[in-house]
């Protein structure tokens, strides 16, 4: 699965998923969503900021009408109590009686997602499902349902295509593995 880095960012060890691989997979998932939601008008809920790049590509590949909304949660702090997540920017619109597709960049322990599913589920949407770009199932602590996923990933710290390290690298068009020395010890085990 891993390939040597040719022209990727110097802070990266390898490219894990190229732009072309991501485009093809996102198109596949978008086609599935378009078919599953045919005749409906889902709200795509993006979790800021990591899911923005994925959501904007996914939305443009859909063949059904869709609305977009965003929420923002307290940042990922691995040293803090992982159960503690807080919404710091809420949705602009009600999701009551709507079909909601929660779009996530990466599901790691699943604790963030579990919190979000509970919070959004309490608002009585007609349906609530998850679409994740990356799934690191090996680290799962909370059993969360992921209806659509693009890629399963290994236990290494990844950046690009929306994913950051200290708010950088989000705009790389591919997903890559950070060099061990660049990720400060204690930030992530990978």
Binding positions for ligand IMP, rule: CB under 6 A: 50, 76, 105-113, 157-159, 163
In the list Mg ion, ligand IMP, none, the entry touching 128 (Cβ below 5 to 8 angstroms by class) is none
For residues 122, 132, 63 and 89, what is the CA-based torsion angle, rounded to 10 degrees?
50
Q: For the chain, how many residues are written?
A: 190
Which of 12, 95, 101, 105 binds Mg ion (CB under 5 A)? It is 105
Q: Which two tokens stand for residue 163?
A: 């994913």
Catalytic residue among 11, 108, 135, 155: 108
Would you say 30 or 113 has its CB closer to Mg ion? 113
Non-local (6+) Cβ contacts of 19 within 8 A are: 173, 174
**CA–CA dist 113, 119 (Å, integer):** 10
CB of 96 to ligand IMP, least distance (A): 25
> Is residue 136 within 8 Å of 108, Cβ to Cβ?
yes
Residue 47 engages Mg ion in binding (rule: CB under 5 A): yes
7 in active site: no
Using the rule CB under 5 A, is 125 a contact of Mg ion?
no
- Kindly list the catalytic residues: 108
């Amino acid at each position: 699965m891993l390939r040597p880095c040719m022209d990727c960012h110097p802070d990266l060890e390898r490219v894990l998923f190229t732009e072309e691989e991501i485009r093809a997979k996102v198109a596949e998932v978008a086609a599935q969503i378009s078919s599953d939601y045919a005749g409906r008008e889902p709200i795509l809920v993006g979790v800021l900021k990591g899911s923005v790049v994925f959501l904007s590509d996914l939305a443009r590949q859909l063949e059904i009408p869709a609305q977009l909304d965003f929420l923002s949660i307290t940042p990922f702090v691995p040293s803090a109590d992982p159960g503690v997540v807080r919404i710091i920017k809420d949705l602009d619109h009600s999701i009551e009686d709507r079909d909601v597709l929660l779009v996530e960049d990466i599901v790691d322990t699943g604790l963030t997602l579990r919190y979000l599913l509970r919070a959004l589920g309490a608002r009585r949407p007609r349906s609530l499902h998850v679409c994740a770009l990356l799934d690191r199932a090996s680290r799962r602590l909370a059993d969360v349902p992921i209806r659509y996923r693009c890629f399963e990933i290994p236990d290494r710290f990844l950046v690009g295509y929306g994913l950051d390290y200290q708010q950088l690298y989000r705009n790389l068009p591919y997903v890559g593995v950070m060099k061990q020395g660049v990720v400060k010890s204690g930030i992530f085990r990978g």
